[in-house]
Amino acid sequence: MGIRSRLLANLGLKLLSVVLAVFLWAVVLGEQKVEVTRTVPLEITNLPRDLILVNDPPDSLEVRLRGPKTLVTTLASREVDLEGLPKSFVEGENVIAIRPETVRVPRGIEVVEVTPRRVRVVLDAMAVREVEVSPRVEGAPAKGFALKRVTSTPARIRMAGPKNELRRLTRVYTVPISLDGQTASFTTRAMLEPAGRQIRALDEVPIIVGVEIGSKRS
């Protein structure tokens, strides 16, 4: 059988398949329309390397959809996607408007509402600053003894973080060092307390705290 004969032999089946598909699609579109809500991930990308994200934008959006019951109830979250997000960001506040038309959904489904409608992305420049190390102490030496002096080596340390947050930082503290029952001077290695969510120490050196304890009579 030639190619033309085979094509003609299958033509009826092909036409039937097309008619059946159109019929099923018409049945689906004619169904009662319902609404569902899907959670769509929101990924903030393309951030400049020299800027730091300093706020907490949502990591997902709630999208309310309307369409034929068969379509919307079987719709997977991966079939709902965001388009038109900014390609670049600048230092300071960036506001992203989330409109229904920025949400891509399969044919036959309508985007009713997106929550939230606006997303704030606040960026700050990275900065470095040298600040004082201030040891914390707690408790009291043994009876008859007193705390004379507390020192830190190094006395200052370089910290890096968002410019505006770092500007307000004048010192960093160690975790508390207990003096309870001490009768003599001692040194100890101490960790630094967190200075801010995105502030970190650049100088990876141990913090050695010297605690001088003496008699109350001296």
Per-residue model confidence as pLDDT tens digits over 64-84: 998 888 787 888 878 888 887
Round to whole Å and give the CA distance between 146 and 137.
Answer: 13
| Cβ count near 92 (within 10 Å) | 11
Residue 25 pLDDT exceeds 80: no
Q: For position 109, what pLDDT does the model report?
A: 87
pLDDT in tens, 182-194: 999 999 999 999 9
Q: For position 29, what pLDDT does the model report?
A: 44
Q: For position 23, what pLDDT does the model report?
A: 40
Q: Are residues 36 and 97 in the same domain?
A: yes
Tell me if 159 sits within 8 A of 172, measured CB to CB. yes
| Cβ count near 166 (within 10 Å) | 21
Q: What CATH number should be reported for the domain holding residue 148? A: 2.170.120.40
Among 64, 97, 116, where does a domain finish? Answer: 116
Q: Are residues 36 and 61 in the same domain?
A: yes
Domain count, the chain: 2
Among 116, 142, 177, where does a domain finish? Answer: 116
- Return the higher-pLDDT residue of 102 and 157: 157
Round to whole Å and give the CA distance between 60 and 37.
Answer: 12
Q: Are residues 170 and 148 in the same domain?
A: yes
Residue 8 lies inside a defined structural domain of this protein = no
Mean pLDDT of the chain: 85
Question: Smallest Cα–Cα separation from 172: which of 136, 126, 216?
Answer: 136
